[in-house]
Each structure stands twice: as C-alpha cells, then as structure tokens.
Amino acid sequence: MATRVLLIDDDTRMYELLAQYLGQNGITVAHAPDGGRGLAALEANAYDAVLLDIMMPGMDGLEVCKRIRAKRQIPILMLTARGDETDRVVGLELGADDYLAKPFSPRELLARLRAVLRRAQPTAVADRLESSGVSIDVSGREVRVSGKLVELTGLEFDLLVALVRRAGRVIPRDALLGEAGRGDTVVNERTVDVHISHLRQKLGDEGSRLIKTVRGVGYVFAKEGP
C-alpha cells in the first residue's frame, strides 16, 4: 500500500514540487492550504505522516501541531523558512518528530520523511522495557510510571527508551540523539537538556532520581538495585 502524507502549507508551488517528487518515490501527497483545512483533512482521511509549515496565515503551524498531538500520534515533520532555534525547540516540544528549514532539497525531505516513518513503525526488539518503576511499551509507544500512563512527545519517548535500554550507563549529550534513533534531528546540546528537563517533570516526583546528570558528560538512567 502506498504511503500517504498530508502537506499543510499555503505554498501551492511547494505542493506541486513535492507531489511530483514524492510521487515518483511511492508517496502520495494530499494538500491543505491552511491549518483549519489541514485539521479537517486529518479527521476525514487516514494519512501516514504530516508535513507541516510553520508560517501560514491564520492558524500557524505550531498551533496546528499542538492540536494534532492532542488527538493522535501521527508523525509530524515541520517545515519553515525561519531557521531560528527557538522555533525548532518549540516545535519539538509540542510533539513534532523532526524539523526541516527552507529552502531544502526534495531528496533531503524524502530521507527525513522515511526516517520519521521508520521510527513510527512497531519494533520487534525489546518490545517492553521495565526499570525502576518505569514500564515502556515500545511498539505501542506508551509509558507508565507506577502503573500510571504518562503522555510524552515523540522525541521525549525516544530519549527515554534510549536511556532505559542503557540503564546504569552514562550516555554523552552529543550521542544521546543517535542512541534514540534521532541522529538526523538537528538540535544542539542545550536543546537536549531542555527535553530531558521536561521528561523528568513528566515522570513525576521520581524524575530527578531516575534521570541523573553527569556534569560535563551527559545523562544516565538509574539502574535498579539488587
């Protein structure tokens, strides 16, 4: 079955370019020229991923991303002409899976789109992880702490899985995104710190104990004692 993606962008020429290029690579592209119609299209049809522009008239892409994440976990790749790091951080915090600054080559977009689609696929390796009261259903992308469901963004989930899989071992900041399968996500070390901070908060009172900072190096997930 062909992959179907929804492009939410007011740039018609962008749609025509991507529809042709992605179509040649087995991906069907539907188009919504604004946020409202994009959200309506998601309610009416099934898509495998969303390509979402930030700068649109009316409802901007950040608000659209927030509304999408309130209802579904579909992969979101954000597109924007604004290269400011603040936009990247906010978009990722709202739940975007990756971020691509315009202008970009269709080839790079295809590679990043395939990457977010791969990450969204269930994995047969270590389907369930358990450590220090944290239970992770990797294929279902669900996290529970002491039995209580915890809502995480896609990036927060991948960071937690990487840390738990290597519980008791320090992962350097510059290697953590790679361990999480996010080596193609362009953020700096400070951005990683921000996401770890949010992750700790969402894990509750035990967050700071579970994810420890090794000053000047990186992070380690507390390993269960004997």
The predicted-structure confidence for 171-214, as pLDDT tens digits, reads as follows 888 778 777 766 555 556 677 888 899 999 999 888 888 999 98
**Residue 191 Cα to chain centre, angstroms:** 14
Low-confidence winner among 42-46, 115-119, 198-202 (lowest mean pLDDT): 115-119
Spatial distance between the Cα atoms of 34 and 60, rounded to a whole number of angstroms: 8
pLDDT for residue 88 is more than 60? yes
Which pLDDT value is given to residue 64? 94
Instruction: Write phi, then psi, for 34 (nearest 5 degrees).
Output: -155, 170
Spatial distance between the Cα atoms of 153 and 160, rounded to a whole number of angstroms: 11
Which pLDDT value is given to residue 146? 85
Give the pLDDT band (50/70/90) at residue 35.
very high
Kindly state the average pLDDT of the residues 30-44.
Answer: 93
Which pLDDT value is given to residue 90? 76
Residue 9 identity: D
What pLDDT, in 10s, does the model give residues 131-184? 888 899 887 888 998 888 998 888 888 889 889 888 888 888 877 877 776 655
Whether the model clears a pTM of 0.85, i.e. scores above it, the answer is: no
Residue 159 identity: L
More confident residue, 49 or 87: 49
pLDDT for residue 221 is more than 70? yes
Which pLDDT value is given to residue 124? 44
Peptide bond before residue 75 is cis, with ω within 30 degrees of 0: no
